[in-house]
Structure 1
């Protein structure tokens, strides 16, 4: 009996051992990129040699299980080197893997007979775009969670030898854990999180975002008003149903654009289930590698022909400067009204190092959307401010429990470590010094507590009137007040021994809608030909014009009061009152009344003006940078500016007059032909005025190119009292040059310009100037005006030479016989452009 019990026990143990040996194998983990540490969604994970497998989710996670015995698991994804890992059968095990990018370019596909099977799917996708595109909805809204991380990557040994880097060696020694197992080390410098509500409305097309909470940690960056706005969802909108996607300021053609067959090659790779959706997988790549197009994969839902998932990459071959790689991954979900909206979006931009003594830059963006509501539009007034913040937007930035509750996804261990590392970096003195220098170079001001010293453009000058000019200035910042801004600048000329100064006080009455008042008083030396509202006084062109010999200079004293308010979305109004006194520092006279029996000759000029400026830009986006309101540009619609100026002699001016001005500005996409920048403007003066009060059009006699000037026109060459002007600046991007084998690797880009000016001056305005004669008795014209023909100049050139320089060849096509003018010129310019 005892022997039977022992045999029974042994049999039970053997069965148990056999059952354990034959137990379930469970493998789970995460797949990431080796170079960036970013998750790889949609990657294939299979037990090697079988079809038993799965794809990673949007966060790169996977889980596989089987009762069969296998000794290895295989990971693969398009554009990456496959990798195999050994496993232990019958056990649960965690295997995280990093895949290296495959630097070998994919070969073009060749179809020998019949139509490419992917083409019919593409036609169905395009036919159903209007149904699946989120823009077909009358409205939608959702809660958005946005996470942004920026790192220094590609840290070379030579870069580590820099003195500033050596002082953070202790930090660098620990950063390898940021990238992970096979990854390269990165140095995090910024991370942010934001929770917001995003709203969209069609007819009219408007969007609004309310930023609810932000958490920002960065080297040289604080959670200020501007940061809190730009880290939200408004600047992370990617819609592949559009023909073109604007990324880093460039327009990339979508793989499902209406002209898909012109730009891309396609391959139908597979059909598979993604959750509850049966999908086709299509791989695609651009026909010309230098084009602004994507390479990647998309998963198309079989029943609706909608994009379920998409993964696209722009490589360094594309005609984009400084970019090693751009990667966008998106997962979309259907709404109750058929259209699909992004549920999760991840964007990675890898900026290459400029030299072997510098490092690269890595920016990673993640957006998660939930609680989607469709077709419940709000009143138009709700959308008037494209972006706004709640008052306590960053009050809970340090409340870790609060953020753990409201995040859509938990932070990874790496991201938690990023916060810790950045906090360590910001406490290193040399880091703070360098960030202060960079901020000063960018803004022109150096911050000292509640005050900013600058702008440095006022600190020094040298010209024939003032001699050496020394100056100093400053302003208050938001730490001083959120409602008041005070500013003052003072300068002294060693030759003319005159003080010049400017000060202003500004009061912000409301931030929503933005409303402010400002008073300014100024005494300064200027030039007649620079009395033009097309020039910003902070412009480099204006700063350079103050050196050397000044043309028709005068001493200007000015009092200026203005009231500005936003009346509605895209509509703003400015009302100003200006008093100015001009004392010419050159030979100038005019008649107060040329038709009097004994005309009185005057030298000085006084004006008193009321000015109304109205601007309408339907889809212009503004953000608030502390106490400043900054335009981020328009998207589709033109910007229209109207100005009316009323001169009043009753308030101390020498003349009563009426002036009207109108301008229309538009950025025009031209598909494969690039993008054009169009400006159409005009002005009319109804009364008689001496020429300093007329319109002096900006000439350019420097060797440099400026897009607001007539580059082959001399300084103060033409004056008008009525005019119409047309400007067209066009960048062809890689059009034509991308197709030339010897040129395309240089990434040069063609540019073209056309400037046309038509107008004139009435005889009564000529009569205001006393005649002067040369030694031969011939009358000298006090100024020049256009005749019956318009002034026309046209140019062509190449930009992106050595990634920074532009050369324009410009021809003057009319008024070519004027003495002293050049009819052809070569102009140079410097531009940092992606």
Structure 2
């Protein structure tokens, strides 16, 4: 998942007390002053506890009053510490070795995989995990209340005096202390959601119907709401892997857990009248996506009663310093354990240093009023395509008082009041507008957005320095219509270019959209096998500031489109488009000539073409933001299947050629548990009929120094030309799994990537004979391929690719080796 920069900037721009009754923190070491990692820390005669981190540090808080703290770990004597006050911070605790266990002491903190009672219990959990909770029923439904809160943490007096907060000092009237880390924090955002959840285990259906959603300070901003909800996607602790921030963490209940975790049977006690075992677990190795913590499991059903999980500090994940999860289960009918409370906390920070400031993100989900075996028809579970009910986001205070499962604290209610006040402060408004501009790329002035500001400057061999200015109408995130346009000027060719487009949402429930526009510009065509007809679109290759080799093969394009798009079923989009384009070379250094009459040597350098296009775009699992004519994708982890048929219509508006073209595109990123992510991209197409260079399928090369998706890094533009092709691109990102095993590399959190891409294609003799350009047509009939290795997450933002040409090495001036780079913000 890419980080939503706008939201994180807003959070960093930004008061409340609710002290617990007992607080303890400290560090655990042994007689040799060595840290004791992952020791169990809990209040005596309770089930409230934590596991110390890799450095022996811990923090524990309870609303109840306790007078004794207990510390235990394998190979050491259990130690009890009297608590003389409510706040017992920075304790220095020394554990003594247990001589009675000297013969069986486990060194380096690793537990045995044999004769370990904790593993015997774990195997029984595996046997019963599909017989617990909601899985025991054919259908289920329940009410759900979800509260998400963001807090600026590590607040101190020096921070409060920063100039950025001048005029906003009232936000620091009160501060709170986090019950997991013990750090002070400043609440800055809260979102509440009430919903009804329905599920069918027989048919694997699930539906969530929102009844109310409430934000502090951001009203009905769907982008923030959707980003926050996707940030904390649901997970199941019984699954082998738990997906958090697009990373697959190994669950402590996983069948593969014994390979990555140490398990210790630490205790047994009654938890809510159920006899349970307490198992402590911690990672066997550093650098892997694992947790530490403990869980209580029932002795007869082997269902989890309570569990807490804290991600390893050195896990290979960016921008997140801490991840903490708690889940509690209640018993139904003496044997069925149902999840009733789920607490998730993360600490977003630029650095993982203990003293670094960050932003806490906390989600609390409560579940109640379960009902079972109430069957609904399949149509009931179908997702609405585009139904937006503004009432959901503007519910009254009386609604929330009635439907909240638990009342908000005085401090939580204060967040709403604080942000309402902040919105009236001019300085805050200025900072908010600045963050919005950096995130969206547009600067808002009234009902007009200027931008994208990042496209204002470009360069290529024909235009030289290129300046661009443009914008769009913007009345709100759910606008039913939108106009966009731009103009650009090249200082080398001394020409103005422009583009204008418009679209309108005609029918909300099916997302029937009418769109059209016109663009006259200079473009590097042939850098995508499935070119888009977006009249405002422009490939990165057309304006790459740094390029290798000759980059003068650009085309002057005049493109007009008119079309309809409809989404009759969620994530199934159908469209039909009429396009008219003229293509001619942008300079005398390149031409698109073709024979009109080869016998009499009659040649034409301009192509005029009318096309009718029909396409099907199926993206199951895609999540979007917005209900208007424009929507934004939340992430890219979904399957995409795209089929397009194009009919060239000779004679329509003086069109030159009659032909048919069929193209197919498929892409799927697949998370492979702890082994990373495999992304597969397949493309195939065929053109039926004789067409010139501008209408053929050019194998996409890449002469820039940056990665361009689905291009071949070792190919120049127009090196291969086809009228039928099949392409496959495989890329596997190990996510740091290999580098984490190398001690001197582990601390850099680098990520290893390997890939291979290849293409087969042919060019017909009829199309070769039609050609009179200065290019010699060549098709990859022997399957051209290249392979590459890459190192990602360099300084957390950069990726470096090294690519090798696999064959066709005898082509003059062919590039055997290429270096490419790219920037991005990823967890």
User: Would you say same fold, with TM above 0.5?
Assistant: yes
* Cα distance, 1:747 vs structure 2: 1.8
Alignment of 1:249-398 (within 5 A): 249-333=246-330, 340-354=337-351, 359-385=357-383, 391-394=389-392, 396-397=394-395
- Residue 147 of structure 1 corresponds to which residue in structure 2? 147
Give the corresponding residue for 1:503.
Answer: 500
Contact 2:111 2:264 in 1 (8 A): no
Partner of 2:221: 224
Cα distance in 2 for residues equivalent to 1:724 and 1:297: 51
Asked if 1:194 corresponds to 2:188, the answer is no
Cα-to-partner distance string for 1:521-551 (whole Å, 9 max, x where unaligned)? 2222212334654689767834633888853
**Alignment coverage as a number of residue pairs:** 764
Match runs of 1:505-544 below 5 Å: 505-530=502-527, 533=530, 541-542=540-541, 544=543
Matched residue SS, 1:573? strand
**1: CA distance, partners of 2:570 / 2:93:** 48
Q: Given that residues 571 and 622 in structure 2 are in contact (C-alpha distance below 8 angstroms), is that contact kept between their aligned partners in structure 1?
A: yes
Query: In the alignment, is the contact (CA less than 8 A) between 1:236 and 1:367 conserved in 2?
Result: no
C-alpha deviation, 1:752, in angstroms = 0.6
Name the structure 2 match of 1:821: 814
Does residue 74 of the first structure (1) align with residue 68 of the second (2)?
yes
Q: State whether residues 592 and 694 of structure 2, in contact with CA within 8 Å, keep that contact through their aligned partners in structure 1.
A: no
Conserved in 2, the CA contact under 8 Å of 1:566 and 1:572?
A: yes
Instruction: Give the Å deviation of 1:714.
Output: 1.6
The CA deviation at 1:200 is 3.2
Distance 2:764 2:80 in 1: 77
1:567 corresponding residue in structure 2:
568
Q: Deviations over 1:375-400 (max 9, x none)?
A: 43433333332797662345545x43
Distance change >3 Å, CA 338–CA 203, structure 1 → 2: same
In the aligned structure 2, how far is the partner of 1:444 from the partner of 1:291? Answer: 36
With the length of structure 1 as denominator, give the TM-score of the two structures: 0.83
Cα displacement (A) at 1:146:
1.3
Q: Secondary structure, in 3 states, of the residue corresponding to 1:767?
A: helix
Taking a change above 3 Å as real, the CA distance of residues 628 and 45 of structure 1, as seen in their structure-2 partners, is same
Q: 1:385 to 1:628 in 2, by over 3 A?
A: farther
For 2:666 and 2:94, locate their aligned partners in 1 and report how far apart those are by CA, in whole Å.
48
Change (3 A) 1:107 1:568: farther
Counting only pairs closer than 5 Å after superposition, residues 739-818 of structure 1 correspond to structure 2 as 739-770=741-772, 782-818=775-811
What TM-score, normalized to structure 2?
0.83
Structure 2 unpaired stretches of 5+: 1-18, 27-39, 51-59, 74-78, 96-105
Question: Displacement, 1:135?
Answer: 5.5
Cα offset for 1:239? Answer: 0.4
Residue 700 of structure 1: aligned partner: 702
Q: Which of the pair has the greater relative contact order for Cα pairs under 8 Å at 6+ separation? A: 2
> Deviation string for 1:699-756 (max 9, x for gaps)?
2223333342211112222221111111111111232221222222222221111111
Q: Deviations over 1:13-34 (max 9, x none)?
A: xxxxxxxxxxxxxxx9656798
Q: For 2:138 and 2:119, how far apart are their aligned partners in 1?
A: 31
The aligned residue for residue 5 of structure 1 is: none
The aligned counterpart of 1:244 is: 241
Counterpart pick for 2:666 among 664, 667, 677: 664
- Give 1:121 deviation, angstroms: 0.7
Question: Does the CA-based 8 Å contact 2:281-2:294 persist in structure 1?
Answer: yes
Residues 196, 233 of structure 1: 8 Å contact kept = no
Mapped contact 1:188–1:421 kept (Cα < 8 A): no
Q: Give CA-to-partner distance per residue, 1:407-463, whole Å, 9 cap, x none.
A: 111112332333333334433322222221221121111122322121224433344
* Structure 1 alignment gaps of length 5 or more: 1-27, 36-41, 65-71, 88-94, 772-779
State the partner residue of 1:130.
130
**Secondary structure of the equivalent of 1:381?**
helix
Q: Residue 670 of structure 1: CA displacement? A: 2.5
1:171 is paired with a residue whose SS is helix
Task: Give the stretch that moved more between structures: 136-145 or 515-524.
Answer: 136-145
Deviation digits for residues 536-593 of structure 1 (CA, Å, limit 9, x no counterpart): 9767834633888853223222221222222324422122221112232245354455
CA 1:803–1:655: 2 relative to 1, 3 Å: same
Deviates more, 1:548-557 or 1:751-760: 548-557
The answer as to whether partners of 2:460 and 2:542 remain within 8 angstroms in 1 is no
1:405 is paired with a residue whose SS is helix
Which string of whole-angstrom CA distances, capped at 9 and with x for unpartnered residues, describes residues 677-715 of structure 1?
A: 111221111111111111122222233333422111122
Q: 1: distance between equivalents of 2:180 and 2:230?
A: 32
CA contact (8 A) 2:585 2:592 kept: no
Task: Report how far residue 323 of structure 1 moved.
Answer: 1.9
Q: Is the 8 A contact 2:387 2:627 kept in 1?
A: no
